[in-house]
Structure 1
């Protein structure tokens, strides 16, 4: 497609620069640029126009959901770049990683299913909470003498109404829709094994919920006496985060392109995505060193 020609060139590194990374074990200067490039790829392809001749016919609301999720991934990647560039906020980038992972998964799952019911379940999943809040507000109003409506309630009800109208669903359709499958079920639908769920979702939950492993990793230190002290503001983003997130985002963009664009037109784009993935995996292989050799 002509749009590919408008993309910036991918990062280039000399043999000397790569050798320096291998010697130091620090591949962050390289991974940082590739991470940035993948974020650019994500936002670029999320801006493909629904009216483009290469794009198959798709519901406007389905298109909005997929492009919105990809935009979310790209924006959160940008936030991670801003946070991590000075060697801090590693405790925060892992939180954003979890959000990016779930957005990528939803893109993959929705494109895999590709039916109206799945997109409706996605919409209804968020709007059921809105309807519950709406009922609570309306109940509070009904209990007041004369049914007085507070300004804050009026604003909240208007916001809920706007969200529901934008989805194009009735309240009955929302309440009767099946819930979205959980992350584990989505991953099974996509053919992934349990390891992906444990690593990406369950371990990621530590950082969201503040479990003991999360405290030990980012917020506490064990001192020489075996006691605990508060950790300083010095948490770095791990190199692996700059591998896994770009690979997940590339997978989501690949699913989106495969769903949105006719096979022949999509082939060139998928080839580009595959080449980026191969480059990141190559860097990861160099970075991993002896990690996957026998420990005996």
Structure 2
């Protein structure tokens, strides 16, 4: 047994058999625990000793004892098996999407709806080991980042052209409201018709005509029978509301924006035509990440319940 041997033929089953005997200090009980025949277990341990070139168990006495080499090997074998168990568990958890990292972007108005905090909060409860990186980003920047793989999830306001390979799921819709200066002649009404502000300048987000609230403004005013005079553009709805507050115009905004009160601004429901705006979650179509799949599955579930 003093011959130095290679560990090239050492297998995890050898360690598992050895540790079972180390626990029981009895070949028969260990074999029963492993659900294998005792002669087969004895043969495997002899093979392990041959591979290692040492004697692991002193079989010369009535009671089985471990040699010094066996004691040293036991300590290392337990560490190896514990490491293997952690690796297997970690791999399986990653495969289920329970660990990893998720990069999430959102437009500012998504936070006002409560859907962002609700969805992300529920995801954190279900998958607490997934690290979340959350940042406010312009909608078109989000979509480009998702397409290129630097962002996993995006909260967006349709309509917006989706890049190739990017899909979205609708999570909620809400009414569109009219933001007016507090001193405006229509501000005292409970409900305002768009036709009553057809002579006003409309402030819109920094979007192309076919995108989000630029599109919503043109469409809603068109259905009210007029073409809006478009004025300054704002980076987000807080900027737009600030522009309204200083009298630069009026603006169509998501109803949820009214939860953040700014001085000299009022938000009024639209009497005619009533309009809706959507909030969607964008993601890469066919993304292999289970964390992404779990997030989208949760988004669909919340959308159905809403």
Determine which structure has the larger strand proportion and give its number. Answer: 2
Task: Name which structure has the greater RCO, CA cutoff 8 Å, separation 6+.
Answer: 1
Structure-1-length-normalised TM-score: 0.25
User: Bigger radius of gyration, 1 or 2?
Assistant: 2
Higher helix fraction: Structure 1 or Structure 2?
1
TM-score (norm 2): 0.25
